């Protein structure tokens, strides 16, 4: 499968809780940032999927947290395609705090491949080839 794709971001104040720590669910938002950025760089922007009448909703999400992030930390989100099945795709993520490259979270999401009416459908061969590059 593909190598690691990288996206950087800064922790916004609204992403923190009363203790000043990033709320755990925000890591899934960052995984989405990484996933969309990876797909866009492969020429598979969200608009392109929509034009084709295809969608990849999340059907599974998992995260293991190792350290906190706080307001204004610089974050590196690494994302890769781990597996392309016949009707699903798995993305893996590693999230780091910069500049020290401290691992904050490791996780994955699994997405079904569906057509406009929400029915599972096989990956078209041309999309599969791009995802497996």
Cβ-contact 65, 30 below 8 angstroms: no
- CA 119 to CA 12: how far, in whole Å? 37
φ, ψ dihedrals at 119, nearest 5°: -90, 140
Nearest residue to 87 via CA among 53, 110, 70: 110
Catalytic residue among 17, 41, 72, 116: 17
Structure token digits, residue 42: 């492969």
What is the bridge-based pairing of β-strands 74-84 and 5-10? antiparallel
- CA 99 to CA 53: how far, in whole Å? 41
Is 17 known to be catalytic?
yes
| Three-state DSSP class for residue 46 | helix
* Residues with catalytic function: 17
């Amino acid at each position: 499968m593909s190598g690691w794709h990288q996206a950087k971001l800064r922790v916004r104040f609204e992403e923190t809780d009363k203790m000043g720590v990033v709320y755990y669910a925000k890591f899934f938002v960052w995984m989405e940032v990484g996933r969309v950025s990876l797909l866009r760089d492969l020429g598979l922007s969200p608009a392109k999927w929509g034009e084709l009448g295809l969608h990849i909703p999340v059907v599974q999400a998992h995260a293991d947290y190792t350290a906190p992030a706080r307001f204004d930390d610089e974050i590196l989100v690494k994302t890769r395609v781990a597996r392309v099945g016949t009707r699903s795709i798995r993305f893996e993520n590693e999230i780091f705090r910069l500049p020290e490259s401290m691992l904050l979270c490791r996780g994955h999401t699994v997405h079904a491949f569906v057509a406009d009416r929400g029915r599972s459908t096989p990956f078209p061969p041309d999309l599969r080839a791009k995802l497996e590059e």
